[in-house]
Structure 1
Amino acid sequence: MPRSAVLQAPFSNPCRPRRSVLFMPASNARALEKARTLAADTLVLDLEDAVAPDAKDVARRQAAEAIAAGAFGRREVAVRINGTDTDWWAYDLRAVVKAGPDAILIPKVEDAGSVCLVADRMLRRGAPRSMALWAMLETPRAFLNADPIAASHPRLACLVVGTNDLSKGLQARQTVTREPVITALGLAMLAARAHGHAILDGVYGAIGDTDGLRVQCEQARDMGFDGKTLIHPSQIDTANAVFAPSRADVEDAGALIAAYEAAAEEGAGVATYRGRMIEALHVDDARRLIALSEAIAAL
């Protein structure tokens, strides 16, 4: 389908907090109910990996019912459907689009065609302009195709990296500091930002290892990721803390903006702050950080 066939919509909000993005198995009714009380910025109701084949129908129905019932507050709600290489994805899409989640997450995307296929079916199912598409990159081919995938469709708003499957595909060891997959993370980051998308880091499987989780969250934050996908509620607090601007960061951003504006009012050609030259790009970053902090406070 040509890109012009879908109206542009503000799917990507750079100030939308996505520090903690928790996968919840939609086959577990108690988990779905508990999700309404958790401090995660985003909930992903999972119909794919976390659901056994004989529970797909139940998970699909429960996800649709939970979304339609609402009561998730300000939390963003997405649904991970089954892959387009399965017999389940079209049934998933028909059920959940009607319920009205914020986003649909496609797993195991390897090319632009998968995104366009799902986007076209969403349009046929009457998905509103506000319902975004997210794409999960999990294989070596996916990361090599990160740019065409990111450019594939106006409805696409977010890339999600799946480092567990990537490590398997590369026959690489999974390490806390992730040197074996750092190139792939960089490729995904470049593609996401080149096309104005959000990007989320992969899960950390060692649920009880808070120190290791923090290391990966800090690495992802420093690389520019918006947040981290999680597999257990106990991981939420760590992700929220690492990806949130600190009070000192916010105060520093405000002071930088003030210094820049004061220099402009005085007609100075160059503005300095704490001994370094500052430009409009630094001011833009400072304003984004403050806006993100305010959005987190609003949650």
Structure 2
Amino acid sequence: MADFTARPRRSVLYMPGSNARALEKAKEIPADALILDLEDAVAPDAKEEARQQVCDAVKAGGYGKREIAIRVNALDTAWGKDDIAAAVAAGPDAILVPKINTPDDVTLAESQMAAAGAPETMQLWCMIETPLAMLNIKEIAAKTETSLRMNVWVMGTNDIAKELRCQHTPERMPMMTSLGLAMLAARAYGLVILDGVYNDIKDEDGFFAMCEQGRDLGMDGKTLIHPSQVGPCNKVFSPDEETVAFSRKVIEAFDQPENQGKGVLKVDGKMVEILHAEIARRVVNVADQIAELEKANG
């Protein structure tokens, strides 16, 4: 089975499923992935129309190498089950399910996808956005031991703030426990984890700073609400040229026959260990995949 974690997801842009113009515009936006949204961005009386519109757009294609996920409504709503059936038939790369609170929610989502005929290659992405999810986070993550689909978590920071009754501060200290717990569980079980959105579209400096914070925390990328956020986000979550160049030197040094079995080497005057070589290989792999993706999407 393919390794779904080994691809760039620096920028993951939500697009409202009820807006046909936005769905078309998304084909030209340099985001690594798109979430075509049937949930929060769609009013109740527009849910069925949006479902049809999104599914038609996915079937029609034209999104290049961008990864496509459809966010359905929660499984316990009137639309959830029908959303999954229609989304599976449309054939996106992933189904994003909100309000994953327990391991049983993962099981239910997977069973509904299977019942709708989803191929094994169709991924399950999970919104992690409630206090209950944080209390069950290890058990949810441990579903990777049996799950064939779950590979990406999306942090729902707006919902976390709502449920905790906390504030969106620049440092995000009120929700740092939630982010940290999710990060620990994701890394322990090999999951991709994406940071939540930044709501103030006009605050470019604040957005850039929060992208840097997410990157420094270890997030694989960030979810976005406006096309203007894609460029800065891609920049922050891409390894810089100097880091990539040094990483290549580290890999080359450890690959030299005379260095086989050595645990520590000096590269450009810096002492590097085997663990640094592992980090370097990941950096180079990410950089190469970013270059390939950007070339494919023009």
Same fold (TM over 0.5): yes
Partner residue in 1 for 2:55: 64
Quick one: which amino acid aligns to residue 215 of structure 1?
A
Partner residue in 1 for 2:46: 55
1:24–1:43 contact (8 Å) kept in structure 2 = yes
Partner residue in 1 for 2:28: 37
Residues in 2 aligned to 1:266 and 1:189: alpha-carbon distance in whole angstroms: 34
1:179 maps to 2:170: no
1:164 maps to 2:158: yes
Residues in 2 aligned to 1:11 and 1:49: alpha-carbon distance in whole angstroms: 30
TM-score by length of 1: 0.93
Cα deviation for residue 190 of structure 1 reads 0.9
Q: Deviations over 1:123-179 (max 9, x none)?
A: 111111110001111111111211111222331011111111111211211112111
Residue aligned with 1:12, SS: coil
1:256 maps to 2:250: yes
Cα deviation for residue 262 of structure 1 reads 3.6
For structure 1, the 5+ residue unaligned runs are 1-8
Partner residue in 1 for 2:141: 150
Quick one: which amino acid aligns to residue 182 of structure 1?
M
> Which of residues 121, 124, 134 in structure 2 aligns to 1:130?
121
Cα deviation for residue 112 of structure 1 reads 1.0
Partner residue in 1 for 2:37: 46
Provide the aligned C-alpha RMSD in A.
1.5
Q: Percent identity?
A: 51
Residues in 1 aligned to 2:4 and 2:161: alpha-carbon distance in whole angstroms: 28
Matches within 5 A, 1:173-212: 173-212=167-206
Residues in 2 aligned to 1:126 and 1:245: alpha-carbon distance in whole angstroms: 38
Matches within 5 A, 1:209-220: 209-220=203-214
1:11–1:131 contact (8 Å) kept in structure 2 = no
TM-score by length of 2: 0.93
Residues in 2 aligned to 1:245 and 1:57: alpha-carbon distance in whole angstroms: 41
Partner residue in 2 for 1:84: 75
Quick one: which amino acid aligns to residue 104 of structure 1?
I
1:290 maps to 2:281: no
2:264–2:274 contact (8 Å) kept in structure 1 = no
Q: Deviations over 1:237-277 (max 9, x none)?
A: 11000001111111010111223234843765532335554
Partner residue in 2 for 1:6: none
Residues in 2 aligned to 1:238 and 1:89: alpha-carbon distance in whole angstroms: 34
1:27–1:59 contact (8 Å) kept in structure 2 = yes
Residues in 1 aligned to 2:93 and 2:260: alpha-carbon distance in whole angstroms: 46
Residue aligned with 1:36, SS: helix
| Higher mean C-alpha displacement, 270-279 vs 152-161 | 270-279
**1:268/1:150 Cα in 2 relative to 1: closer, same or farther (>3 Å)?**
closer
Residues in 1 aligned to 2:242 and 2:61: alpha-carbon distance in whole angstroms: 36
For structure 2, the 5+ residue unaligned runs are 294-298
Residues in 2 aligned to 1:53 and 1:264: alpha-carbon distance in whole angstroms: 66
Residues in 2 aligned to 1:246 and 1:135: alpha-carbon distance in whole angstroms: 30
> Which of residues 5, 29, 40 in structure 2 aligns to 1:13?
5
Residue aligned with 2:28, SS: coil
Residues in 2 aligned to 1:92 and 1:252: alpha-carbon distance in whole angstroms: 47
Partner residue in 1 for 2:296: none
Residues in 2 aligned to 1:150 and 1:12: alpha-carbon distance in whole angstroms: 16
